Amino acid sequence: MTEFDPAAAGAVTPAVDSAVAPVSLFAALGLHESLVQAVESAGYTQPTPVQTKAIPEALSGADLMVSSATGSGKTAAFLLPSLQRLVVANVRPAAGSGPRILVLTPTRELSMQVTRACDTYGRTLRWLRTASVVGGVPYGAQLRAVRAPLDVLVATPGRLLDLLNGGRLSLSNVEVLVLDEADRMLDMGFIEDIQAIAAATPSARQTLLFSATLDGTVARLAADLMRDPKRLEFASHRDNQEHITQTLHWADHRTHKDRLLDRLLADPTIDQAIVFTSTQRDAERLSEKLEADGHSVAALHGGMPQGVRTRTLTGLRQGRLRVLVATDVAARGIDVPTISHVINYGLPIAAEDYVHRIGRTGRAGRTGIAVTLAEHGEIRKIRTIERFTDQRIPVATIEGLEPTQRAAPHGAGRPGNGPRRGPPGAHGGARFDGARRDGAGAPRTFQRKTGTR
Ligand code: AMP
């Protein structure tokens, strides 16, 4: 594993006069001492490129549209300047007055991750009150949390709108609205919910939008909701996966795939692995099989009660689980730096989910391994992924488990001689037509959905 090196990743190092006391690189961005202390005690020594650019702009009060890859440090890029507002204003909220910072995320898992990040970045602010409002859990505790004094609210749009429409929550004091993974929220059909939520906040608010892509529907949403936003663009997923070693193993049939998986999981260099399946049923089946084989394993998918999902993620984070078998619902929300391997046992339904899946490894500057298992009949799906990422996935074999069918020739299943060039959003893999909510949604690109995820 390599250490995170923001400088190598292109971070701008502010000029510091070595004759005077060293200035923290976070303080040089304009951050308040208490927040600098919090990030430094989280172990960060240098801001990432997205933090270097976005934090000063956000502190200036500008609306921002930021394209940044998964794992780039974007959460701190929007939370730190937002928390700074609260530090500077130094006013404690009254009970029931609603949040001053509102963060919308597409999935429950991401909401929980952002809430945890808020605890980390706000750890020196003893007065800070953060709550999370997500679907799939009982209303009681969430209602109590939004009635109490509240600084930051992290929410998925569906549940938040329920509370808003039921008159349970006021958004009239929101100063900063953050749309995290805006492209994903739009893909999941949240456009009207987001518009209704934004309309309930003051128009003088600051809006910070983070998204893998800033084009198409995201640009239209921004035009609706933002005032003269600044665009900050960082390396796209295509440029940003060099630290993840990707390989592809062709399998003759499912039994062959199971044998390949057994062999891969026997690798002692695996700290923790996520094995992705295409359906909930497969996740359950595979997790049971792996458990019977002696692995410390659990399943995670959108059909499970939220309490079980949360316990499973805690087990993963605390290292009690070595293998998680998950559907794409887990792809965007998991930030566990010790995940060394991602194995695609079932291919993702949308090509861009491939990028989010493999982004679960190689977090925070580490390296990672992503292995994809595909049956020969799935060559078109593989080519669609390769066009989307603009990279060929190198084919590998395991001794004694080589496929008996001839390896698929390069170029099969797609017109032309190489990956298509062009912006990520222009590729077929970015298209979705599913519109389900709170992470249980199933965007479809390759085919109609045959099972639930
Ligand atoms: P994010 O893109 O916000 O999900 O962050 C990805 C990972 O990078 C998380 O584990 C963060 O804790 C970590 N991280 C964020 N900022 C920094 C930084 N400046 N230095 C080191 N790690 C960071």
List, for residues 77-89, the tens digit of each pLDDT value.
999 999 999 999 9
Domains of the chain: 6-233 (3.40.50.300), 244-420 (3.40.50.300)
**Rounded mean pLDDT of 210-227?**
89
Residue nearest to atom 6 of ligand 1 (CA): 71
| Helices vs strands, H then E, count in the chain | 14, 13
DSSP class per residue in 180-227: TTHHHHHHTT-HHHHHHHHHTS-TTSEEEEEES--SHHHHHHHHHH-S
Q: Which atom of ligand 1 is nearest to the CA of 69?
A: 2
Adjacent-strand bridge partners of 179: 104, 209
Distance CA 272, CA 265 (A): 10
Nearest to 232 by CA among 207, 216, 220, 214: 214
Give the list of residues 6+ apart from residue 201 with CB closer than 8 angstroms, or none: 102, 171, 172, 174, 177
User: Which residues have C-beta within 8 Å of that of residue 363, sequence separation ≥ 6?
Assistant: 71, 335, 336, 337, 339
Q: Per the structure block, which two tokens stand in for 118?
A: 């808020």
**Residue 318 burial (CB count, 10 A):** 9
CA distance 382 to 105: 29
What pTM, to 2 d.p., does this model score? 0.65
Alpha helices in 14-73 (DSSP H): 33-41, 49-59
How many other C-beta atoms can be found within 10 angstroms of the C-beta atom of residue 239?
10
Separation of alpha carbons 105 and 113, rounded Å: 10
CA nearest to 100, candidates 226, 230, 204, 228: 204
What mean pLDDT do residues 368-395 have? Answer: 92
Express each pLDDT in 290-335 by its tens digit.
999 999 999 999 888 888 988 999 999 999 999 999 998 766 668 8
**pLDDT confidence of residue 332:** 67
Average pLDDT for residues 273-295, to the nearest whole number? 95
CA distances from 127 to 54, 90, 175, 248, 347 (A): 26, 10, 18, 50, 45
Q: What is the pLDDT of residue 237?
A: 53
- Tell me the CA distances in angstroms from 276 to 256, 329, 344, 373, one per residue in order: 17, 10, 5, 10
Q: What is the largest CA-CA distance in the chain?
A: 69
The ligand 1 atom nearest the CA atom of 76: 3
- Ligand 1: residue of 39, 53, 55, 72 to mutate (most ligand atoms within 8 A of CB) is 72
Nearest CA to ligand 1 atom 19: 47
- Interstrand relation of 230-233 and 297-300 (parallel, antiparallel or unpaired): unpaired
Q: Whose Cα sits closest to atom 15 in ligand 1? A: 73
Q: Please identify, by atom number, the ligand 1 atom nearest to the C-alpha of residue 364.
A: 8
Query: Which tens digit of pLDDT belongs to each residue from 178-215?
Result: 999 998 898 888 999 999 999 999 999 999 999 988 87
| CA–CA separation, 244 and 341 (whole Å) | 9
CA distance 345 to 352: 16
Q: Are 406 and 416 in contact (CB under 8 A)?
A: no
3-state secondary structure of 80: helix
The H or E element containing residue 358 is helix 351-358
How far CA 67 is from CA of 74, 233, 280, 300, 360, in Å, comes to 9, 5, 31, 28, 18
Closest CA to 184 of 199, 194, 174, 175: 194
Burial of 129 (0-12, 13-18, 19+ CB in 10 A): middle
Whether 51 shows a pLDDT value over 70: the answer reads yes
pLDDT tens across 158-179, in order? 999 999 999 999 999 999 999 9
Please say if the pLDDT value at position 436 is more than 90.
no
pLDDT at 410 over 60: no
The residues that bridge with 211 in the sheet, in sequence order, are 67
Q: Pocket of ligand 1, candidates 13, 75, 240: which has the most ligand atoms within 8 Å of its Cβ, to mutate?
A: 75
Distance between CA atoms of residues 248 and 255, nearest Å: 17
Name the closest-CA residue to atom 17, ligand 1.
Answer: 73
Least confident of 68-77, 128-137, 278-287: 68-77
* Dihedral sign for Cα atoms in the order 175, 180, 184, 185: negative
How many whole angstroms from 296 Cα to the centroid of ligand 1? 27
